[in-house]
């Protein structure tokens, strides 16, 4: 069974989302499109929260979000326990977000990366494992600050 990877965007990321869906399929994954579907202006939290809930509930291991800067999507997704959404703009940051931070949601700033850059970032994020070790302790401490 191919791994299901939910992917969602607002209007700013909708074109790049289509490109990344094709890439995910070509790589053997099963992209699950949670919207949006057109150029009409929408509110990014309406798309970040449903995807983040799937990750938080353990329905999926990871997901991909896109908006203009990546920031709004990341703010919303990171409200969910266990979700570590990383705004990523280079393949090197994608690698470090996985190795050091165990980022389980990739957030792309659609207005600031090219399609080619976004595909490279996606591939690096998909292929890089969490390094564990001292990073496990640090990642565990992220949740300790919840509600304090």
Is 67 a binding residue for ligand RB5 by CB under 6 A? The answer is: yes
* Smallest separation, CB 89 to ligand RB5 (Å): 13
Shortest gap between Cβ of 101 and ligand RB5 (angstroms)? Answer: 20
In 3D, which of 124, 125, 8 has the Cα closest to residue 66?
8
Which residue has the closest beta carbon to ligand RB5?
72
- Say if residues 20 and 119 touch (Cβ distance below 8 Å): yes
Q: Are 74 and 104 in contact (CB under 8 A)?
A: no
Retrieve residue 103's tokens.
């980022």
Q: What is the CA radius of gyration of the chain?
A: 14
26 CB-near residues (< 8 Å, 6+ apart) = none
Nearer to ligand RB5, 110 or 126 (CB): 110
C-beta closer to ligand RB5: residue 70 or 126: 70
Rounded to an integer, what distance in angstroms lies between the CA atom of residue 34 and that of residue 8? 5
Catalytic residues: 67, 100
Q: Pick between residue 44 and residue 125 the one whose CB is nearest to ligand RB5.
A: 44
Q: Pairing mode, if any, of strands 63-67 and 4-9?
A: parallel
Q: Does residue 39 bind ligand RB5 (CB under 6 A)?
A: no
10 binds ligand RB5 (CB under 6 A): yes
Identity of the residue, 67 or 97, whose beta carbon is nearer to ligand RB5 in the bound complex = 67
Residue ranges in contact with ligand RB5 by CB under 6 A: 10, 12, 44, 67-69, 71-72
């Amino acid at each position: 069974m191919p791994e299901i990877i939910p992917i969602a965007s607002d209007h700013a990321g909708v074109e790049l989302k289509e490109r990344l869906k094709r890439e995910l399929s070509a790589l053997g994954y099963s992209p699950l499109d949670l919207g949006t579907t057109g150029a009409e202006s929408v509110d990014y939290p309406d798309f970040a929260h449903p995807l983040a809930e799937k990750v938080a509930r353990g329905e999926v291991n990871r997901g991909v979000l896109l908006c203009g800067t990546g920031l709004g999507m990341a703010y919303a997704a990171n409200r969910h326990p266990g979700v570590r959404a990383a705004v990523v703009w280079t393949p090197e940051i994608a690698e470090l977000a996985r190795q050091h931070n165990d980022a389980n949601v990739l957030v792309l700033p659609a207005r600031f990366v090219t399609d080619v850059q976004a595909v490279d970032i996606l591939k690096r994020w998909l292929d890089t494992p969490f390094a564990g070790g001292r990073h496990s302790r640090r990642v565990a401490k992220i949740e300790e600050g919840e509600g304090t």
